[in-house]
């Protein structure tokens, strides 16, 4: 089933989603990888030092409430007028953000996390507790995904963190993804792992016999 989602995403829209559903996401999304997540945790969440970066905190609080984070280190270009454009926008492996994501979901009121490869039990529990979903983007289709990025609205911490790790604020239109972790406690990734583990055990038993 295809769901058209517009950011900010309502709680009702999130709870209507189930693993396996296709999503086209439109609206303003914020990219964040390892360094960006570490900054959010250290400066804003676990040991708040908001006074050091008040403008960034205010912007993230507005953008992420009901919003979406995309695990992405984009390839960008800049034209003669200083405007940025996403050349490639493929997803980053999400499990790297497992130590942080549950706290980010809770603190900022995230509704969607986008990436590839899925996340662990702590993020899944946060999705259930705070009504959020994990959306699996298409790996290996960086240029295709970049076509759904219609505008780079802003960028934060580019000089401090570097281009791949910066907070890029992008306007998307029909960004394609699949729900693989829903707000009902279901994880397609966990199911695949369980089945694979059982299959491996069976194969090992056959070989040992």
With CA atoms as reference, report the closest residue to 8 among 70, 62, 57: 62
DSSP count for the chain of H helices, then E strands: 8, 9
What DSSP designation does 91 have?
B
Q: How far is CA 55 from the centre of its chain?
A: 22
Separation of alpha carbons 74 and 134, rounded Å: 20
First to last CA, the chain: 44
Cβ pair 21, 5 in contact under 8 A: no
Give the residue numbers annotated as catalytic, written as ranges: 37
Distance CA 116, CA 180 (A): 10
Angle between helices 54-64 and 98-108 (to 10 degrees): 80
């Amino acid at each position: 089933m295809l769901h058209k989602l517009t950011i900010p995403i309502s709680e009702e829209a999130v709870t209507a989603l189930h693993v396996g559903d296709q999503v086209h996401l439109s609206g303003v999304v914020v990219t964040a990888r390892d360094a960006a997540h570490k900054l959010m945790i250290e400066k804003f969440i676990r040991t708040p030092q908001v006074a050091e970066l008040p403008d960034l905190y205010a912007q993230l609080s507005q953008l992420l409430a009901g919003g979406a984070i995309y695990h992405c280190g984009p390839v960008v270009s800049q034209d003669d007028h200083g405007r940025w454009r996403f050349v490639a926008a493929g997803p980053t492996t999400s499990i790297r953000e497992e130590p942080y994501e549950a706290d980010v979901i809770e603190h900022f009121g995230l509704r969607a996390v986008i990436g590839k490869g899925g996340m662990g039990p702590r993020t899944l529990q946060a999705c259930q507790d705070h009504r959020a979903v994990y959306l699996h983007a298409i790996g290996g289709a960086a240029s295709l995904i970049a076509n759904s990025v219609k505008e780079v609205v802003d960028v934060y911490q580019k000089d401090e963190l570097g281009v791949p790790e910066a907070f890029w604020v992008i306007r998307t239109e029909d960004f394609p993804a699949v729900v693989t972790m829903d707000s009902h406690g279901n994880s397609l990734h966990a199911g695949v792992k369980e089945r694979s583990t059982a299959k491996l055990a069976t194969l090992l038993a056959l070989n040992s016999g």
